[in-house]
A and B are shown apart, each in its own frame.
Chain A
Amino acid sequence: MTWFLAALPLAQTLLLGGDRFASTPTTALLQFLAVVLLVLSAVRIVQLDPANDPAAFLATRPLTFPTVLLPKLAIISFGLILPIAALHVAQIACLGIPLNATDYLLLALETLLSLCAITFLALLPAFFRRNLGDYLVALVICGVAIAGVSVFVRWDTPTMPVLGWESYQLGMSRQALVLFLCPVVALGVIFVYACSRSWRRAGALFVVASIVIVLVRALWPIDFIRHFADRDQRTPASECPDLAQVSARFEKPRWAGDMIPSFGGIGYNGVLYYNVEAHIKYLGVPTPWYPVQRSFTSTLTLSNGKALPCRGTMPPSIDWLQLILQRKIRNMYDTDPHSCTPLQLDQYKVDEVNGATKNAAVRGNAVVELRRAIVIHELSLQEGATFAQEGRRFTVKKVSYTQERLQVEIWREEVSLLFRGGTLGRYDSVDFVLVNELRHEFVDTNGGSMGGGFAAANYSYKLEQRDYEPAGRKIPVRFTDDWIRGARLLLIGSESGGTLNVPFEFQSFDLVQ
Chain B
Amino acid sequence: MDKPAFFDANCSVGRVGYPHLFDIADAAGLKQEMATAGVEEALAYHTIARDADPRLGNFRLMEEIKGHPELHPVWVVLPHHTAEMPPPAKLLPEMKACGVRAVRMFPTKTHHSFSPADWCAGELLSALEAGRVPLILDAEILPWEDVHGLLKTYSHLPIIMANCNYRQNRFLYPLFEKFPNLYVETSWFMGGGAVEDVIERFGSRPLLFGTNMPRYTGTAAVALITYADIGRKDKEAIAGGNLRGIFEGMWP
Q: Do these two chains really belong together in a complex?
A: no
**Which residues of A are in contact with B by a Cβ distance under 8 Å?**
none
